[in-house]
Amino acid sequence: MPSPQPSSSGEGSAGTSFADKISHQQHHPAIDLSSIPSPGKRGDYPAISIPEDLHKKCLDQWKYSLIGRLDFQKLKFEDAKHILLELWNLSGSCKFIPLGKGYFAIKLDNENDKRKVWSGGP
């Protein structure tokens, strides 16, 4: 049996990891490292204090989000995402974030869309 040949598109080339391929696609917010508190201890565990304004800022971006779960054995994640977006007909942005084992975050940007999704649709 002949051995598999690498594709001409560069996929599967030696030395290129999956992380390398997708790293340019990820967008991380800029964080001033000097604003990160030094770790201390709480009992036997390391602990840090998070400034209230940073805590609120991080929570605010998730305040309209929901967690969903589907059985992806009969339906692919991308197909489910397109079906749900069409069914819901949302006014704002919506991002689906896979969490594993059929769970996913539905990141919404407004209260009306959250109510619409939570109530089951249009």
Structure tokens at 20: 């390398």
More confident residue, 20 or 58: 58
Query: How long is the chain?
Result: 122
Amino acid 121: pLDDT: 65
Q: Calculate the CA dihedral of residues 89, 91, 96, 97 and round it to 10 degrees.
A: -160
Q: With contact defined as beta carbons under 8 Å apart, do 85 and 63 qualify?
A: no
Amino acid 122: pLDDT: 57
DSSP secondary structure letter of residue 65: -
The string of pLDDT tens digits covering residues 71-122 is 878 889 999 999 999 999 999 999 999 999 999 999 999 999 999 999 986 5
The string of pLDDT tens digits covering residues 10-56 is 455 567 777 776 666 666 677 787 777 778 899 999 998 888 998 99
DSSP secondary structure letter of residue 13: -
Which runs of consecutive H residues, i.e. helices, occur in the chain? 18-22, 52-60, 77-88, 111-118
* Residue-range domain boundaries for the chain: 63-121
> What predicted TM-score, i.e. pTM, was given to this entire model?
0.61
Q: With contact defined as beta carbons under 8 Å apart, do 110 and 104 qualify?
A: no
DSSP secondary structure letter of residue 92: S
Q: What Cα–Cα distance (Å) separates residue 98 from each residue in 34, 81, 101? A: 31, 11, 9
Amino acid 8: pLDDT: 47
3-state DSSP assignment of residue 18? helix
Residue 3 scores a pLDDT above 60? no
